[in-house]
Amino acid sequence: DAGVIQSPRHEVTEMGQEVTLRCKPISGHNSLFWYRQTMMRGLELLIYFNNNVPIDDSGMPEDRFSAKMPNASFSTLKIQPSEPRDSAVYFCASRTTGSETQYFGPGTRLLVL
Partner 1 sequence: KQEVTQIPAALSVPEGENLVLNCSFTDSAIYNLQWFRQDPGKGLTSLLLIQSSQREQTSGRLNASLDKSSGRSTLYIAASQPGDSATYLCAVISSNTGKLIFGQGTTLQVKP
Q: Which amino acid is at 109?
A: R
Q: Cβ closer to partner 1: 8 or 16?
A: 8
Show Cβ contacts of residue 108 under 8 Å, excluding neighbours closer than 6 positions.
6, 7, 8, 9, 10, 11, 21, 89, 90, 91
Show Cβ contacts of residue 30 under 8 Å, excluding neighbours closer than 6 positions.
50, 51, 72, 95, 96, 97
- Per CB under 8 A, contacts with partner 1 among 18-47 are 33, 42-45
Rule CB under 8 A: choose which of 23, 65, 105, 110 binds partner 1.
105
Q: Which amino acid is at 61?
A: P
Applying CB under 8 A, the span of 22-30, 61-69, 77-85, 101-109 interacting with partner 1 comes to: 101-109
| Strand 108-112 with 10-13, pairing | parallel
Rule CB under 8 A: choose which of 2, 53, 71, 101 binds partner 1.
101
In angstroms, what is the minimal distance from the CB of 81 to partner 1? 27
- Determine, following the binding rule CB under 8 A, whether residue 12 of this chain makes contact with partner 1: no
| CA gap 49, 56 in Å, rounded | 7
Closest CA to 95 of 61, 48, 55: 48
- Determine, following the binding rule CB under 8 A, whether residue 93 of this chain makes contact with partner 1: yes
Rule CB under 8 A: choose which of 14, 18, 56, 83 binds partner 1.
56
Site for partner 1, rule CB under 8 A? 4, 33, 42-45, 48, 56, 59, 91, 93, 100-107, 109
